[in-house]
Homo-oligomer: A and B are copies of this chain.
Amino acid sequence: MKVAKFGGTSLANAEQIKKVCQIVMADRDRRLIVVSAPGKRNKEDTKVTDLLIAYAERSLAGEPTEEAKQAIFLRYREIVADLGLSAEIGQAIEAELEEVLANKAGLSTERFMDAVKAAGEDTCAKVVARYLQSLGEVATYINPKDAGMLVTDEASNAHILPEAYAKLATLREREGIVIFPGFFGYSRAGDLVTFSRGGSDITGSILAAAVEAEVYENFTDVDSVYVVNPNLIANPKKVTEITYREMRELSYSGFSVFHEEALIPAYQADIPVCIKNTNNPSAPGTMIVAERGAATNGVSGIASDGGFCSIYVSKYLMNREIGFGRKLLQILEEEELSYEHTPSGIDNISVILRERDLTEEKEQRIVERIRRELFADDVAVQHSLALVMIVGEGMRQSVGTTARATTALAAAKINLEMINQGSSEVSMMFGVKAEEADRAVIALYQEFFGGEEPVVSSSSQAASISV
């Protein structure tokens, strides 16, 4: 049994939905299908989810909502018509949608917003189920409440509850194809709550874990994950196979293919994830697995992310002071800041954090507190840093990866503000000035993938083809 999830562009119009259904029907193991809300049909288009949010905001503000509502209906009407579904089916689906949009009474602002947003996926799932039925398939829409998708009661940021898995596992027994709307579940009290934005990936991952799927296929609009941002390198090498840990490190630093939280259920249940392209389903895609073959290049991806800053603290004999680091981190915690890394020398430590979290006011207060409470000799904040990461499971076993990377960076005249590589890690991190990040990534790509270097895990390509 396979769980297949389709993203917004895969469901943007009838033509795309037809592709989706062809993909589903091409493999009888694809029995649990998770759908997003219809996405953009072209660059200027608006996603249905954004139309729904606009509607909800107007409604909550007491402004006229008719136009906003019609914009939503129009999208689905077009899809229903172009799929050749009957007017009755269209009207029935629209009536249920209208009921959700109208049902504001008795709901808190947050609950109403979540309910309206979720209607995008929910309606889409109904449409897809109807279309598959029209093709003669045994296909059923299922409501997440009936399916047992029990989540925490955090509006717009739900998390799955452990007890949900047992009931969801029974989806395995259902006959035919089950169409499951992504993005939301229900609290123990029965209220609809959505995951964080883009959370249909999470729904798919949870279902794949629950039914112990042989694979979780995540259909999007790219052929595969690339070893580097295609905006920096034309036609970069593709990643055919990558581990959960590698993917997680790359997601963190700018790879936005897959929702960060979505890997967790699949990872915990050891379900391989396959990133595939709805528009090119015969391409092998990228497999995310627990372990890769050993016969691979040490490096599997290069990424960078800007918007970091560092707080540098020095104090003579700091490292003999028990509790210094803990107190420093406590100050950050009291300012509700999470941090990324803490490279340190003997008498100094730098805390790397996201710049967006550090308001000017917080910065002043933190610097002042470090001086006053920790008696630091020196405190300095450096802004506009980028972190460049090389990720690869095989990296540590291969003596010389660091040498190759730093030599390439030195040749590109990039100064390293910071290096961080811990034991048992699958990544190496370089702190550079933001304006040098792109050049750093390009230099590293050329070193590890340019020229004669083989594509990452090309030797295991056969194994990674999932269809």
Chain A contacts to B: CB under 8 angstroms: 245, 248-249, 252-253, 260-261, 264, 267, 310, 312, 314, 316-317, 319-323, 325-326, 329-330, 332-333, 336-350, 380, 382, 396-397, 399-400, 402-403, 406-407, 409-411, 413-429, 431
Complex Cα–Cα for A167 and B316 (A):
25
Known: A403-B406, A417-B423, A419-B421. A342 touches B344 (CB 8 A): yes
Are B418's CB and A419's CB within 8 A? no
Are B267's CB and A316's CB within 8 A? yes
Residues of B within 8 A of A253 (CB): 346
Are A338's CB and B317's CB within 8 A? no
Complex Cα–Cα for A321 and B419 (A):
23
Shortest CB-to-CB span from A211 to chain B, Å, is 21
Main secondary structure of the interface of A (DSSP, over half): mixed
Are A423's CB and B320's CB within 8 A? no
Shortest CB-to-CB span from A395 to chain B, Å, is 10
Are A344's CB and B403's CB within 8 A? no
Complex Cα–Cα for A332 and B317 (A):
19
Residues of B within 8 A of A410 (CB): 399-400, 402-403
Residues of B within 8 A of A338 (CB): 319-322
Residue of B261, B339, B400, B423 touching A418 (CB-CB under 8 A): B423
Q: A252-B346, A310-B422 are in contact. List 12 more A-B contacts (CB 8 A).
A: A253-B346, A260-B317, A312-B424, A322-B333, A322-B337, A322-B338, A341-B344, A348-B424, A399-B413, A402-B406, A403-B409, A420-B421
Across the interface, name the chain B residue whose C-beta is closest to A251: B346
Report the copy number of this chain in the oligomer. Answer: 2
Residues of B within 8 A of A319 (CB): 252, 338, 340
Give 21 CB contacts A-B under 8 Å.
Answer: A248-B347, A249-B346, A264-B317, A267-B316, A310-B422, A322-B336, A322-B337, A325-B329, A326-B332, A343-B425, A346-B427, A350-B422, A403-B407, A406-B406, A407-B407, A417-B423, A418-B423, A419-B419, A419-B421, A420-B421, A423-B431
Across the interface, name the chain B residue whose C-beta is closest to A319: B340
Residues of B within 8 A of A267 (CB): 316
Are A420's CB and B420's CB within 8 A? yes
Are B343's CB and A420's CB within 8 A? yes
Across the interface, name the chain B residue whose C-beta is closest to A322: B338
Across the interface, name the chain B residue whose C-beta is closest to A342: B342
Complex Cα–Cα for A343 and B332 (A):
18
Residues of B within 8 A of A382 (CB): 423-424
Are A316's CB and B348's CB within 8 A? no
Residues of B within 8 A of A348 (CB): 422, 424-425
Complex Cα–Cα for A345 and B248 (A):
11
Are B396's CB and A415's CB within 8 A? yes
Complex Cα–Cα for A3 and B214 (A):
78
Shortest CB-to-CB span from A170 to chain B, Å, is 27
Residues of B within 8 A of A416 (CB): 399, 402, 421
